[in-house]
Amino acid sequence: MATTTLTTSSSSTGIAASAGLSALFGLVLIVLAGHVQADALHAAAHDVRHATGFPCH
């Protein structure tokens, strides 16, 4: 009878890099959203609602 062993390993460097890039991306999104005009955000959200078929009026 044959057995198969599956081993997985993840380096802490890879996990730290992934977490760091995710945090950086989140920070960039927050900063950009904080500096954009409210009308531009509303228009973008409105267009997405129409494109996905959600009612917005």
Q: Which are the contacts of 50, defined by CB distance < 8 A and separation ≥ 6?
A: 56
pLDDT tens profile 28-39: 988 887 887 888
Confidence of residue 7 (pLDDT cuts 50, 70, 90): low
C-alpha atoms less than 13 angstroms from C-alpha of 38 in its C-beta half-sphere? 0
- Across the range 20-26, mean pLDDT stands at 96
- Across the range 2-30, mean pLDDT stands at 84
- Across the range 44-56, mean pLDDT stands at 83
Q: Structural domain boundaries of the chain?
A: 31-57
How far is 43 from 41, CA to CA, in rounded Å? Answer: 5
For residue 31, what is the enclosing H or E element?
helix 12-35
pTM, to two decimals? 0.49
